[in-house]
């Protein structure tokens, strides 16, 4: 069927654009001789994760244990949980996963290590941990060298925990004021990460994995420094309005939300049948990823979403209002695709206007 015949709202993925994005990032990794481990929290779909692996990805990254469990159930057997995992129940679930797949996860405190050591007592394999390094995003991760040394000492004293490496995320690059500023932030972040890798080696704990990355910095060829072993972008596969702004084009945006015009109550106002529950109310207000409005109407010049209610999109644009009629379907490029995917049970893979496949979003709602 034609994808425009789908009921709305529906999440649409253009196959050709998606595949070009996958190949683009894989070629970038290959160029510098590093592994690509896509962060699948963007799409939450095992089917797409398998395609990424088939195109050369080493494995995948996820954000939560629940996502790792679903991905493993669907045949993915090399998974990194790029997050601090806290709590005995979650560590128990990781221990169970480690019996059948290669799984590693993030740490940044000795308190975590104490619980991991206890839970993995008697396990057939040691817990595989990577220490997160905070590189400027002001989120989680090690900041001070002394704390890093204390954490490594704690890991070295364990018999059930293996130090696999370090990872970082230059998420603050989203707010860089220019491409040059993005490059500077990226290089500072990578140098800081490699500095901690050197400290680890000096302490007798050589990192097998040094994992970096975010989509804005890796969509531009800033190079990859020697010592990095892995890149971990996520959004690149589908892109969105914010990432499109970062590269100066929406041509790489593979995902859209198909929506129907349901009202034209004034000479300028148009209402469609998707709201915050289908596209979110997210914006980015700084830097190269800054967005206008709450989403961009594809194929209509300079038409943005003015506001959203739970189930309504509000657009003010006289030319757009005069063009569309009740029942017309249009596509929205979301500002941030990652939470949008988590709002749908399925997506539709399309090519040349035809629906090729329904994609179940199996990791939807896996927040634990």
74-88 confidence digits (pLDDT tens) = 999 999 999 999 999
Q: Output the six-digit token pair for 309.
A: 């209610």
Which tokens is 63 given?
A: 């954000």
> In the structure, what pLDDT confidence band is assigned to residue 23 with cuts at 50, 70 and 90?
very high
Beta strand 209-212 with 230-231 is: parallel
pLDDT band at 14 (very low <50, low <70, confident <90, very high): very high
Contacts of residue 140, defined as CB under 8 A and 6 or more positions apart, other chains included, come to: 83, 84, 106, 108, 132, 134
- The percent of the chain in helix, strand and coil, each rounded to the nearest 5, is 35, 25, 40
Query: What was the pLDDT predicted at 61?
Result: 98
Rounded to an integer, what distance in angstroms lies between the CA atom of residue 296 and that of residue 171? 23
Q: What is the DSSP letter of 277?
A: H
Cβ–Cβ < 8 Å for 171, 133: no
Q: How far apart are CA 174 and CA 242, in angstroms?
A: 9
pLDDT at 351: 98
Q: Look at residues 168, 184, 187 and name the one whose alpha carbon lies nearest to residue 176.
A: 184
The Cα–Cα gap between 244 and 295 comes to 12
What is the bridge-based pairing of β-strands 354-360 and 329-333?
unpaired
Give percent of the chain above pLDDT 90.
Answer: 100
Q: Is 349 helix (H, G, I), strand (E, B) or coil?
A: strand
pLDDT digits (tens, 9 = 90+) for 225-260: 999 999 999 999 999 999 999 999 999 999 999 999
- pLDDT digit string, tens, across residues 111-157: 999 999 999 999 999 999 999 999 999 999 999 999 999 999 999 99
Sign of CA dihedral 14, 15, 19, 20: negative
Question: Rounded distance, CA 72 to CA 57, Å?
Answer: 16
**Confidence class of residue 304 from pLDDT cuts 50, 70 and 90?**
very high
Q: Phi and psi dihedrals of 54, rounded to 5?
A: -60, -30
Tokens representing 32 are 């510098």
Task: Tell me what pLDDT residue 147 has.
Answer: 98
Give the span between the Cα atoms of 230 and 219, in whole angstroms.
15
- The confidence score (pLDDT) of residue 105 equals 98
∠ CA 229-165-26, nearest 5°, is 25
Q: Find tokens 């994005």 and name the residue.
A: 21
Going from the N-terminus, what domains does the chain have, and what CATH number goes with each?
A: 3-10+242-360 (2.40.37.20), 34-234 (3.20.20.10)
Q: How far is CA 60 from the centre of its chain?
A: 11
The per-residue pLDDT for range 178-234, each reduced to its tens digit, is: 999 999 999 999 999 999 999 999 999 999 999 999 999 999 999 999 999 999 999
The pLDDT tens digits of the residues spanning 324-341 come to 999 999 999 999 999 999
pLDDT (0 to 100) of residue 4: 98
* pTM for the whole structure: 0.96
How high is the mean pLDDT of the chain? 97
Can you give the pLDDT at residue 286? 94
């Amino acid at each position: 069927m034609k994808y425009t015949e789908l009921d709305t709202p529906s999440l649409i993925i253009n196959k050709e654009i998606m595949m070009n994005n996958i190949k683009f990032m894989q070629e970038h990794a290959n160029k510098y001789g590093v592994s690509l481990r896509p962060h699948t929290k963007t799409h939450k779909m095992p089917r797409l994760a398998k395609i990424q692996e088939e195109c050369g990805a080493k494995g995948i990254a996820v954000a939560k244990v629940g996502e790792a469990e679903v991905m493993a159930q669907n045949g993915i057997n090399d998974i990194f949980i790029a997050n601090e995992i806290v709590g005995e129940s979650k560590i128990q679930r990781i221990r169970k996963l480690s019996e059948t797949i290669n799984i590693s996860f993030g740490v940044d405190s000795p308190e975590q290590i104490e619980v991991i050591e206890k839970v993995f007592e008697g396990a057939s394999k040691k817990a595989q941990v990577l220490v997160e390094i905070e590189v400027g995003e002001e989120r989680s991760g090690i900041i001070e060298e002394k704390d890093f040394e204390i954490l490594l000492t704690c890991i070295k004293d364990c018999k059930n925990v293996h130090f696999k490496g370090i990872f970082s995320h230059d998420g603050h690059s989203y707010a860089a004021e220019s491409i040059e500023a993005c490059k500077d932030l990226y290089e500072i972040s990578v140098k800081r990460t490699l500095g901690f890798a050197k400290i680890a080696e000096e302490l007798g704990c050589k990192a097998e994995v040094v994992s970096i990355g975010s989509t804005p910095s890796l969509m531009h060829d800033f190079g990859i420094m020697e010592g990095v072993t892995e890149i971990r972008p996520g959004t690149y596969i589908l892109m969105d309005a914010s990432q499109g702004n970062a590269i100066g084009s929406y041509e790489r945006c593979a995902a859209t939300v198909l929506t129907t015009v349901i009202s034209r109550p004034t000479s300028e106002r148009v209402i469609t049948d998707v709201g915050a529950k289908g596209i979110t109310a997210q914006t980015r207000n700084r830097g190269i990823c800054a967005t206008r409005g709450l989403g961009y109407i594809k194929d209509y010049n300079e038409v943005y979403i003015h506001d959203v209610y739970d189930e309504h999109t509000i657009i003010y644009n006289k030319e757009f209002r005069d063009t569309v009629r009740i029942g017309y379907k249009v596509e929205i490029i979301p500002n941030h695709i990652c939470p949008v995917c988590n709002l749908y049970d399925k997506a539709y893979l399309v090519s040349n206007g035809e629906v090729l496949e329904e994609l179940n979003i199996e990791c939807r709602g896996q927040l634990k």
